[in-house]
Amino acid sequence: MDTNGPGELGKPFKVNKSLLTPEEKLEFEEGWRINNFNEFVSNKISVQRTLLDYRDKQCLTVKYSNNLPEVSVVITFHNEAWSVLLRSIYSILNRTPPSLLKEVILVDDFSTMEHLKGPLEEFLIRFKKVKLIRAPRRQGLTRGRILGYKAAVGEIVVFLDSHIECTEGWVEPLIDPIAKNWTTVMTPVIDVIDSDTFQYSFLPAETTSVGGFDWSLSFTWHGIPESEKKRRKYQHHLPVRSPTMAGGLFAISRKYFEYLGTYDEGMDIWGGENLEISFRIWMCGGTLLTAPCSHIGHVFRKSPPYSWGSKANVVRNNNVRMAEVWLDEFKEYFYQHINYTLGDYGDVSSRKSLRERLKCRSFDWFLVNVYPELIVPAEALYSGEIRSKTQPLCLESPHRYGDVNKPLKLFYCHGLKGNQVNGYYCRLEKLSLNS
């Protein structure tokens, strides 16, 4: 393969729009409109493009078991771009040892695009390990993944998105810890594939992030806490405990997924399921880890390109279901964010029964033992906003956990929607009486 071709070795491929023909410009604009990423550029890049071996040197010295279990990879898609979907499939097939890959299960969540009908079926005939499941109606991410899980026969199920690229050595760091302990759930390091140029940007093990959340129940990324660094003896390549997962990419024992109650099928389309299963793993006796030696690239886009149809407030309803079942008294902090407009979130009695049956711990236990870094509003000395009456200014602590012994910082908020500065809102969560 020509490593000098467009996008090879993960390099960016840039298009000068002014040099495109009128037909190409229409194709360029249409690709962005339909996908919220640059499909025009993706189509210029080989679906089997080469990537560098990004693993840290320490990762190359790790010895894994010679008897690792087989995996079933489940990919759910809805109206995915042709070249992006094929690149995802090829990256799995080309960079997974055949002895470890039982199957790739594609779950079509009621796509309407013509290229995902007959042309896709015809293309997939050449792959013995690739199966295609068609949902009879729109299922959403959680129910679509359950369809894939039910069809899987591998001992471990790996859930992936349909716009990813697996790198060399991606699978062994995910399945080895699960083979040693079936209640362990693993996530890879999620590298960024630029939505415009499709450049693959690698994150070294030293900069691995862990998942968190805030009281709006939005997923957040954070650096590894010092306590966790000490536990790992500052060996950056070792798996790291993560309070939550992003949700798009993770590996789990098929039997443990069933034991945990799979997904909450009352959740619609997308949103909230990642935090829900993260809380459930930790509170019900499991462990959630990120493997710095496993890298998968993901095309991040600003918003989903598909419609949620007539269903309104899908993410809010999903989050309320989660809060009602798992957050105990702490659900009040989320409800304050949504002004107690809980909406019609459906029946959660079966999920509460699941929690009782599994004898899961309290959410307070989770906050103390898994995510002590999260500031609980009731524990703050003061909360609210401080604003200048004469200038568009506000105060914000520059320190993640509001160290009251360090000075506050003044930010200019003029012209910023929602008074957001460098990704932070101008809000004080903790303030010293001496400040």
DSSP classification of residue 19? G
Residue 265 has a pLDDT of 87
Query: Does residue 275 sit in the same domain as residue 164?
Result: yes
Quick one: 356 and 396 in the same domain?
no
CATH code of residue 200: 3.90.550.10
Give the span between the Cα atoms of 353 and 347, in whole angstroms: 12
Q: Which residues pair with 212 in a beta bridge?
A: 220
Per-residue pLDDT, 324: 96
Angle at 357 between CA 356 and CA 359, to 5 degrees: 65
286 and 357 co-located in one domain: no
Would you say residue 309 lies in a domain?
no
CATH number where 352 lies: 1.10.8.460
Query: Is 164 in the same domain as 293?
Result: yes
C-alpha R_g of the chain: 23
Residues ≥6 apart with Cβ < 8 Å to 356: none
Do residues 99 and 170 share a domain? yes
364 and 384 both lie in a single domain: no
Here the tokens at position 316 are 């809010």
Distance, CA of 159 to CA of 72 (rounded, Å): 9
Q: Looking at residue 393, what is its pLDDT?
A: 58
Residue 100 φ then ψ, to 5°: -105, -15
pLDDT at position 382 is: 57
Residue 25 confidence (pLDDT): 97
Whether the Cβ atoms of residue 189 and residue 195 lie closer than 8 Å to each other: no
| Average pLDDT along the chain, 435 residues, taken 10 residues at a time | 88 96 97 96 98 93 95 97 98 98 97 97 97 94 94 98 97 98 98 97 94 95 94 94 95 97 85 93 98 96 65 83 96 91 88 97 96 82 60 49 41 34 36 33
* Domain containing residue 398: 380-425
Residue 342 lies in a domain: yes
Q: What is the pLDDT of residue 380?
A: 56
Query: Is residue 313 in some structural domain?
Result: no
In a domain, 143, yes or no: yes
- The answer on 407 and 282 residing in a single domain is no
Residues 125 and 235 in one domain: yes
* Shared-domain flag, residues 365 and 384: no
178 and 83, same domain (yes or no): yes
- Quick one: tokens of 45? 């890049």
pTM here is 0.85
- Can you give the pLDDT at residue 344? 84
Residues 175, 279 within the same domain: yes
**Is residue 323 one of the residues assigned to a domain?**
yes
Give me the number of domains the chain comprises.
3
Instruction: Name 197's Cβ contacts closer than 8 Å, sequence gap at least 6.
Output: 12, 13, 14, 38, 41
Q: What are phi and psi of 24, to 5 degrees?
A: -65, -35
In a domain, residue 255? The reply is yes
Residue 86's closest CA among 123, 40, 135? Answer: 123
- Note whether 154 and 70 are within 8 A (CB): yes
Predicted pLDDT of residue 17: 93
Residues 419 and 362 in one domain: no
Is the residue at 277 inside a domain? Answer: yes
Q: Is residue 118 part of a domain?
A: yes
Last residue of some domain: 269, 299, 329?
299
pLDDT at position 19 is 96
